[in-house]
């Protein structure tokens, strides 16, 4: 997958990069870093909340907690999208 296509795919499915940055090497060259996706960042924030508020002595299956964190992240991404056009508007 070409880089531009990969970035477009990341924006469409994962909200784009959460913390993109460019490093200036000081010699006129630079390097770009895409960082984690917004979806991954949202999931990490949800995971922190889910694990911080667990009931003492309870046992959580890690795969279920992670799945819940990504479900929350997906809901957050969906809520942040602009609403679809009404009727036949484009």
Range with the lowest mean pLDDT among 3-7, 15-19, 68-72, 86-90? 3-7
pLDDT-based confidence at 88, cuts 50/70/90?
low
Q: 69: burial class by Cβ within 10 Å (0-12, 13-18, 19+)? A: buried
pLDDT digits (tens, 9 = 90+) for 13-70: 677 777 777 878 788 888 777 778 889 999 999 999 988 877 666 677 888 889 999 9
Alpha-carbon distance of 90 to 69, in angstroms, equals: 33
Which residue from 27, 66, 60 is spatially nearest to 43, judged by alpha carbons?
66
Q: Give the residue, 72 or 5, on which the prediction is more confident.
A: 72
Alpha-carbon distance of 19 to 69, in angstroms, equals: 19
Query: The tokens of 70 are what?
Result: 């990504």
């Amino acid at each position: 997958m070409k880089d531009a296509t990969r970035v477009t795919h990341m924006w469409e499915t994962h909200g784009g990069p959460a913390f993109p940055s460019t490093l200036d090497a000081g010699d006129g060259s630079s390097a770009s870093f895409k960082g984690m996706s917004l979806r991954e960042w949202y999931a990490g924030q949800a995971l922190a909340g889910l694990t911080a508020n667990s009931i003492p002595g309870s046992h959580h299956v890690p795969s279920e907690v992670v799945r819940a964190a990504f479900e929350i992240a997906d809901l957050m991404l969906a809520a942040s999208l602009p609403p679809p056009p009404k009727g036949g508007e484009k």
